[in-house]
Chain A
């Protein structure tokens, strides 16, 4: 029993980071119907920024969020402006956007591999080696910090969307792009902003991932698979769904990892994806839309 609870704790301690990774992608999908398959490539880009800040300037990876978030925010806005903005209103363009983001992920991967080689990296702040004990249980400090910060950021995003004027405009655009435009929302600007915010979330998760996992440029493929499963399971475009499915799958894969074998824990994600596509294609929290 104690063991089962311990496994659950370790699983949930990763859930927050998963949620942060998928929150940006689900936001981007919600506003623009663009599935950003380059999301994890940008996460790894941010992880590299955190890595070099830590190694060259001894900046704590958690602190580096202050830099990675604005940097990726700008990258996100430029990325959207250059590739997608002029075509966003064309419904036939949506299928093509998936291929474009996928191709972008290859470009980012190739450039990262060219400049930083394929060596496995991770940052090693002091807390990456410590763990926090309470009673018979323990949780690694790195995972605890990362999950707490992730939840704070997601909460911040939620409050921003809920209680600010810009947030209302973003939510309006999510619900109905044309209607939002009719009532005076500048959807192009809102989309650009949302893309920036989505990638800022990716930037923050890159900083946090840098001390939880090892990473290398080609790793983004495995992560995008995982993030996609989380986003689809939660319901594409639903922030709540991304949060719930992240903790759900983090716990499930922790159990699979412990009781069946570490090799099979990624398969948990893909099986969940196929099951949800089979029985509830709109996801747990999604509205029934054509995706």
Chain B
């Protein structure tokens, strides 16, 4: 039985880019139009209350796009699958949250710092864990999550399992979501741009070579070890920033929010469903999965079945659809130009 594997996937992506015959107005206009719409949406909320549900859903989309796109840098481009990227998220949230609770420093100021520290943490972890490959690496990322849970549960400064409570932002309900909305939107745009520029850099080329054949990549003179560690660190940067903002948005921090297995899996699933190793894949996968989750929760109402659905979709995608939506469409030459961001 013919099976689609990562190797085929990588080869297809590295096929020479066809000269684009697409209408540039559709190719560039549609994504930019969506972006413009997202940028002006809060204006309607300010003018006339009632969009808070949509803003909340979009905040979720922004957050998960940031996480899946970041994951894609190490998991998609370099092929090193991490199931522990929510540790960066927890790190950012707790770092900014603790500074806010104990020293009253605003998370909005500390988000970039949290991101940079998360990146440094990622580099340090990568230094150890990226000595291994394949399954051993995946195992070490799961162990990282479990280790972090133990630390957060038992360290008094983080409030243990009870967590930390942060005071509400002093804005009326009608406006309360808007600062978070713009901050996360900005981080999301930065993440997607970073993903694009990394893919088109020598660094990104090196990462993709690693995902195909690491030994050959090394023989070809690519500093594979440094590249992998750097990619792992960069993938933590934006997630750490988003974590700082998200913690403040939730107003309470608890290990059971940030370090669930379901969250770690969703990050991976969104990227793979959309198409790992592509720029637009994680964005599309995230949008679809959040819609699906919303329907599942609304219709079935049980979070246990939510996990079942997440697991089933992941299995089906991996078995029958490993290139994801963008990858499969591109392989059949059917990818609409406005989804082709590579």
Q: A290-B133, A291-B132 are in contact. Are A270 and B143 (CB under 8 A)?
A: yes
- A281, B132: Cα distance in complex, Å: 7
Interface membership of chain A positions 245-268, coded 1 if the CB is closer than 8 angstroms to chain B and 0 otherwise: 000000000000000010110110
B147 within 8 A of A: yes
**Which residues of A (214-234) have their CB < 8 Å from a CB of B?**
217, 221-222, 224-225, 228-229, 232
**Given A107-B312, A114-B305, A95–B143 Cβ distance below 8 Å?**
no
What mask results when residues 143 to 178 of chain B are scored 1 for a CB within 8 Å of chain A, else 0? 100110011011000000000000000000000000
Residue of B5, B138, B154, B319 near A35 (CB, 8 A) is: B138
> How many angstroms between the C-alpha atoms of A255 and B183 in the bound complex?
47
B272 to chain A, nearest CB (A): 8
**Interface residues contributed by chain A, number (CB under 8 Å):** 49
Q: With a CB–CB cut-off of 8 A, which chain A residues contact B150?
A: 263-264, 266-267, 270
B318 and A110 contact, CB distance less than 8 A: no
B133 CB contacts on chain A under 8 angstroms? 290-291
B302 touches which of A87, A114, A261, A291 (Cβ 8 Å): A114
- The yes or no answer to B306 lying at the interface (CB within 8 A) is yes
Q: Is the CB of B134 within 8 A of A291?
A: yes
Other-chain residue from A93, A103, A232 in contact with B311 (beta carbon distance below 8 A): A103
- Are the C-beta atoms of B311 and A95 separated by less than 8 Å? no
Among the listed stretches A64-72, A150-158, A204-212, A272-280, which one makes contact with chain B, having 4 or more residues with CB under 8 Å of it? Answer: A272-280
B322 at the interface (CB under 8 A from A): yes
- From known contacts A98-B81, A110-B307, infer whether A87 and B128 are also in contact, taking CB-CB under 8 Å: no
Write the residues of chain B forming the contact surface with A, with a CB cutoff of 8 angstroms: 1, 3, 5-7, 79, 81, 83, 128-129, 131-136, 138-140, 142-143, 146-147, 150-151, 153-154, 261-262, 265, 268, 272, 302, 304-312, 314-315, 318-319, 322
Question: Which 7 A-B residue pairs are closest in the complex by CB-CB distance?
Answer: A106-B311, A110-B308, A110-B307, A92-B5, A107-B311, A103-B314, A113-B304
Binding site for B on A (CB under 8 A): 33, 35, 37, 83, 86-87, 90, 92-96, 98-100, 102-107, 109-111, 113-114, 217, 221-222, 224-225, 228-229, 232, 236, 261, 263-264, 266-267, 270-271, 273-274, 277-278, 281, 290-291
Give 22 CB contacts A-B under 8 Å: A37-B142, A90-B5, A92-B5, A94-B135, A95-B138, A99-B314, A100-B315, A106-B262, A109-B307, A113-B307, A225-B146, A228-B139, A228-B142, A236-B136, A266-B150, A271-B147, A277-B136, A277-B140, A281-B136, A291-B133, A291-B134, A291-B136
